[in-house]
């Protein structure tokens, strides 16, 4: 008898709509990450892209920290989060590498937050070291009251040795200099916005570093946007939350995010878009806020947030303006440009090189796609310092082989690492744009 002559007696059972379904993952009030976990097919692209896994043999990689550990937290009430989740630097390169769109960094952030909340001792030195680093804005606020004294004290050799021995903050790095005038002090002294417009409005989220350490970057943004006819607002704001996410301090991040969403969403309702000079800040507002928080207005803020140069490239003929300009003086140089990991995640890794290609008097050379290694607070931890420098070694080598001896990047902590590893002065693309376009 042939197969075609055989008649099967199998009859599939009809679906039973009344059957009680088995809940593999319990009901949760948090964002449901099961679809993302189920999308992982273990290709390990995330692990091979992870700069920490490449240098730290004890770190199991993003695949374990993401979908695998997340599943364990959902199916086993007694499961304790593996401590290695605190070694993730939150560079988010795994998000960019995953071909299936698994929300790896969201899983890392929620799992790390659970570890800190439920397992890390609140009396431990590590907890308080991490919390101090994560809340840099608080430290910088007080330092800004006596900026010269604070800069000298933080870089005094014996004080740095004590901080390393007692808190675990590496003594190998120089602390950044605090500005003698904060950006918002300058903003108020100049009388706020100098341009009024009914239809070209941006709300500037300047973040912590441009406020307290590099106000020249913030000033460049304001002058550049006003040059193009924009009314600039500087709303009430806290930290973007990036260092808090990286250290599992989700309650602290929630506190500042609530302030940021409230002030920015009110301006979005008035026709403003939000712009950031720091790519980690724009990444936080765009991606991490909607992943972790459900405040009213969060989605609107995310949808109206841009990195500053990106915004001008979209809404103005920035390339044409740059092609017609030239630069002389201090900024007529050759630059070694590093694209921050968080710029890559937003598809912005080539924009500075492409934009300045036609600018007379300037040459910008891309120094490769490696991570700088500092990843915000990661490289400031004594036990992570050597790893951060090993990760950054490729970038340092490329910078030293580049024609220029001035670095360029949008990320303030990448700038710290670039300067630390090469001794080069580091500038922001906004400073170069201001020099080229604003009289």
How confident is the model over 251-260, as pLDDT tens digits? 999 999 999 9
Question: For the segment 208-251, what is each residue's pLDDT rounded down to a tens digit?
Answer: 999 999 999 999 999 999 999 999 999 999 999 999 999 999 99
Distance (Å, whole) CA 56 – CA 66: 17
Question: How many CA atoms does the CB half-sphere of 213 hold within 13 Å?
Answer: 18
The CA-based dihedral angle spanning residues 188, 192, 194, 196, taken in that order and rounded to the nearest 10 degrees? -170
| 97-152 tens-digit pLDDT | 999 999 999 999 999 999 999 999 999 999 999 999 999 999 999 999 999 999 99
Residue 323 has pLDDT above 90, yes or no: yes
Please spell the DSSP secondary structure of 93-150, one letter per residue.
Answer: HHHHH-TT---HHHHHHHHHHHHHHHTS-TTSHHHHHHHHHHTHHHHHHHHTTSHHHH
- The pTM assigned to this predicted structure is 0.90
pLDDT higher than threshold 50 for residue 21: no
Residues 418/394, Cβ–Cβ less than 8 Å: no
Residue 11 has pLDDT above 60, yes or no: no
CB 268 within 8 A of CB 202: no
**Strands of 293-388, DSSP E:** 305-307, 334-337, 363-366
pLDDT tens digit sequence for 339-354: 999 999 999 999 999 9
pLDDT of residue 32: 64
The per-residue b/e assignment along 13-52, b for 16 or more CB within 10 angstroms, e otherwise, is: eeeeeeeeeeeeeeeeeeeebeebbeebeeeebbbebbbb
DSSP run (H or E) holding 4 = none
Strand partners, 366: 337
Best CA proximity match to 341, nearest among 372, 377, 366: 372
Q: Is the pLDDT of residue 37 over 90?
A: no
pLDDT for position 38: 80
Whether the per-residue pLDDT at 72 is higher than 90: the answer is no
Output the CA torsion sign for 296, 298, 303, 308. positive
Q: pLDDT per residue over 403-412, tens digit each?
A: 989 999 999 9
């Amino acid at each position: 008898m042939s197969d075609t002559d055989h008649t099967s007696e199998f009859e599939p059972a009809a679906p039973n709509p009344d059957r009680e379904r088995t809940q593999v993952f319990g009901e949760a009030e948090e964002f449901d990450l099961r679809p993302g976990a189920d999308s992982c097919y273990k290709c390990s692209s995330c692990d091979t892209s992870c700069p920490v896994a490449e240098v730290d043999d004890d770190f199991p990689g993003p695949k374990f920290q993401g979908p695998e550990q997340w599943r364990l937290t959902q199916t086993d009430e007694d499961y304790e989060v593996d401590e290695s989740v605190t070694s993730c630097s939150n560079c988010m390169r795994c998000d960019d590498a995953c071909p299936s769109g698994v929300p790896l960094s969201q899983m890392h952030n929620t799992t790390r937050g659970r570890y800190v909340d439920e397992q890390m001792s609140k009396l431990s030195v590590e907890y308080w070291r991490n919390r101090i680093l994560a809340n840099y804005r608080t430290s910088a606020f007080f330092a800004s009251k006596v900026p010269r004294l604070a800069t000298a004290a933080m870089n005094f050799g014996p004080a740095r040795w004590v901080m390393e021995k007692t808190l675990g903050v590496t003594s190998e790095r120089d602390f950044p200099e605090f500005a003698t005038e904060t950006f918002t002090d300058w903003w108020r002294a100049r009388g706020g916005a100098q341009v009024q417009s009914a239809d070209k409005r941006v709300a500037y989220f300047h973040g912590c570093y441009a406020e307290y350490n590099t106000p020249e970057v913030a000033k460049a943004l304001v002058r550049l946007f006003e040059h193009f006819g924009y009314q600039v607002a500087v709303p009430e704001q806290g930290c973007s939350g990036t260092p808090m996410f990286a250290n599992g301090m989700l309650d602290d991040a929630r506190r500042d995010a609530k302030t940021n969403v409230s002030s920015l969403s009110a301006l979005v309702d008035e026709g403003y878009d939000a712009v950031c000079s720091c790519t980690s800040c724009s990444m936080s507002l765009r991606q991490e806020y909607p992943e972790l928080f459900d405040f009213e207005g969060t989605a609107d803020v995310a949808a109206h947030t841009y990195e500053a140069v990106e915004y001008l490239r979209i809404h103005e003929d920035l390339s044409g303006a740059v092609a017609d300009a030239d630069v002389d003086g201090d900024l007529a140089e050759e630059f070694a440009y590093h694209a921050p990991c968080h710029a890559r995640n937003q598809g912005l890794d080539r924009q500075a090189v492409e934009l300045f290609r036609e600018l007379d008097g300037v040459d910008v050379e891309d120094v490769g796609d490696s991570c700088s290694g500092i990843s915000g607070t990661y490289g400031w931890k004594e036990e992570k310092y050597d790893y951060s420098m090993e990760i950054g070694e490729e970038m340092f080598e490329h910078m030293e082989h580049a024609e220029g001896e001035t670095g360029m990047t949008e990320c303030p902590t990448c700038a710290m690492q670039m300067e630390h590893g090469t001794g080069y002065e580091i500038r922001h693309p906004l400073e170069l744009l201001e020099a080229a376009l604003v009289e």
